[in-house]
Structures are given as C-alpha cells and as structure tokens.
Amino acid sequence: MIFTFSGHEPAINVYTAGGEFEPHEDKHMLTVLVSLSPLDAFEGGGTAFWSERAERVGGLGGEPSLMLRPEPGTAILWTGQITHAGLPVISGRRHVFVCSFNLRA
C-alpha cells in the first residue's frame, strides 16, 4: 500500500488569535487530527462538523452539528466527505497535527 497525502501534509498547524480554517471537505479517504496543545493554552478554537441534514437545512452558515475540543494527544478521524472547520482561536496558541490521505495498492 502507498499513502498519498494531501498538499503539504502531514503537518503541524498553529492557530493564533483570529486563526481559523473555513468549512470544507478534504476529499481524501481519511483525515487524522491530533490535538497537541493543552486546553488552557488557548481560548476558542476546536474542530466543528456539520451533518448532511444541517447542511441541507441551514447551509454552512448554520450552527455545526458537533464541536470538539479534545485533550492533547487525542486523535479525531473522519472521512473526506464530512464538512468540517477549525474554529477561530480567540487568544493563545493552538497546535494540531493533521494529515489527510488516500491509500493505493
């Protein structure tokens, strides 16, 4: 098996005040995000997800269906067809390890 990674990934993303990642779909087989910063190192932030139903009813301007702020070392995995976003950091620094990839035989 060969891993084909997205763009400049794997990577460590650093979010500072105002830093965010707009809602999108990765379009890869799997995305892995691992929180690296302690929760008291930043305010705001987190990873938001929208269900298909939420997208149909309110569009991406609506509230996310789920928002996660996991403890450091916790991995979140999802498929590339799920709409998600990095929520804005209000203060401090948020570090996450991220990689999106496909597998080829």
- CATH number for the domain harbouring residue 99: 2.60.120.620
Cβ atoms within 10 Å, residue 33: 21
Domain that residue 50 falls in = 2-104
Q: Give the total number of structural domains in the chain.
A: 1
DSSP state of 81: T
The answer, as to whether pTM is greater than 0.85, is: yes
pLDDT digits (tens, 9 = 90+) for 49-85: 998 775 655 566 678 999 999 999 999 999 999 999 9
Q: In what order do the strands lie in the sheet with 47-50?
A: 21-24, 83-86, 47-50, 66-68
pLDDT tens profile 13-49: 999 999 999 999 999 999 999 999 999 999 999 999 9
